[in-house]
């Protein structure tokens, strides 16, 4: 599943289409496609894992799910969920969820929860963590209401960096560790963005999909942790269970 930094890359890549009119629309998405035809894109935004194509009065939300993809000015052999054609160029989205949002986005999204948004508020994240003392940190890092844009890679890498066992409960973490968690999610997300643009992201993985701990030189433990049951890689020696 594409994480927040990958959606920021998508947003930046399609920036030339801002202000352009959609002259043709197609796809199997179950929305009113005709509503988009001949409409001008007034803005392009992202919120966590959501890519947002803004028109006057409504927004088309794209969620790439686990295996979604997109093509700019080219097509895949498969049918797109959404195809947008412009006077010059086209956008195609595949294997994704498409939804229309009516009204102002500020009434739908909490921008302070997006770890890559300039409105990100660490104090708000700390307050939300305080309200969920029994939640596992592995689940907290995948909770989009707390850390919008954080995904499984970010979860594994951040927990390894701050030396916290993924099955630790949020309420058991020392205050200093909670602050470190909140800070490192943002730090790593922007490093993720930079490395992804350089096509070097996997080179920098220290925990995600790895076989052994680079600190302790012992095998990593792999488990499907928490309510999300996502793949989790961690060291039982240096990552403390709180």
The parent domain of residue 49 ranges over 4-107
Q: Are residues 100 and 27 in the same domain?
A: yes
Q: What is the pLDDT of residues 50-82, one digit of tens each?
A: 999 999 999 999 999 989 999 999 999 999 999
Q: Where is the domain boundary, 60, 77, 107?
A: 107
The C-alpha atoms of residue 186 and residue 120 are separated, in whole angstroms, by 9
Distance from C-alpha of 121 to C-alpha of 148, rounded to nearest angstrom: 11
List b or e across 91-108, with b for residues whose CB sees 16 or more CB atoms inside 10 angstroms. bbbbbbebeebeeebeee
- pTM here? 0.94
Query: Over its length of 242 residues, how does the chain's per-residue pLDDT go in tens digits?
Result: 789 999 999 999 999 999 999 999 999 999 999 999 999 999 999 999 999 999 999 999 999 998 999 999 999 999 999 999 999 999 999 999 999 999 999 999 999 999 999 999 999 999 999 999 999 999 999 999 999 999 999 999 999 999 999 999 999 999 999 999 999 999 999 999 999 999 999 999 999 999 999 999 999 999 999 999 999 999 999 999 99
**Domain total for the chain?**
2
Q: What are the structure tokens assigned to 48, written together?
A: 């966590």
Single out the residue in 85, 107, 129 at which a domain terminates.
107
Domain with 54 in it: what CATH number? 3.20.190.10
Contact 221, 234 (CB under 8 A): yes
Per-residue confidence (pLDDT) for residue 126, from 0 to 100: 99
Cβ pair 138, 208 in contact under 8 A: no
* Whether 11 contacts 44, CB under 8 Å: yes
**The two three-digit tokens of residue 85, written as one number:** 């054609």
The answer to whether residues 150 and 205 belong to one domain is: yes
pLDDT of residue 72: 98
> Domain for residue 10, yes or no?
yes
| 118 and 220 both lie in a single domain | yes
pLDDT of residue 147: 99
As a three-state string, the secondary structure of 114-144 is ECCCCCCCHHHHHHHHHCCCCCEHHHHCCCC
Query: Which CATH number does the domain housing residue 144 bear?
Result: 1.10.8.50
pLDDT of residue 28: 97
Which among 45, 72, 107 is the end of a domain? 107
pLDDT value, residue 237: 98
Bridge partners, 69 (sequence order): 94
Query: For residue 106, how far is the Cα from the chain centroid?
Result: 19
């Amino acid at each position: 599943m594409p994480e927040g930094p990958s959606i920021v890359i998508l947003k930046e890549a399609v920036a030339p289409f801002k202000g352009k009119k959609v002259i043709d629309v197609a796809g199997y998405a179950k929305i009113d496609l005709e509503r988009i035809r001949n409409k001008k894109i007034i803005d392009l935004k992202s919120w966590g894992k959501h890519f947002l194509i803004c028109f006057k009065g409504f927004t088309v939300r794209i969620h790439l799910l686990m295996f979604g993809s997109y093509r700019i000015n080219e097509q895949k052999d498969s049918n797109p969920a959404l195809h947008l054609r412009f006077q010059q160029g086209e956008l195609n989205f595949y294997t994704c969820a498409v939804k229309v949002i009516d009204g102002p986005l500020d009434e739908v999204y909490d921008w302070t929860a997006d770890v890559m948004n300039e409105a990100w508020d660490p104090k708000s994240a700390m307050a939300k963590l305080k309200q969920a003392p029994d939640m596992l940190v592995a689940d907290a890092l995948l909770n989009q209401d707390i850390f919008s844009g954080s995904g499984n890679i970010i979860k594994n890498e951040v927990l390894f960096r701050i030396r916290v066992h993924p099955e630790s409960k949020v309420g058991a973490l020392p205050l200093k560790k909670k602050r470190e968690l909140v800070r490192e999610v943002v730090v790593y997300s922007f490093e993720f963005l930079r490395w992804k643009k350089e096509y070097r992201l996997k080179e920098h993985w220290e925990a995600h999909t790895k076989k052994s701990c680079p600190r302790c030189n012992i095998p990593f433990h792999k488990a499907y942790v928490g309510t999300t049951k996502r793949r989790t890689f961690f060291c039982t020696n240096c990552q403390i269970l709180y």
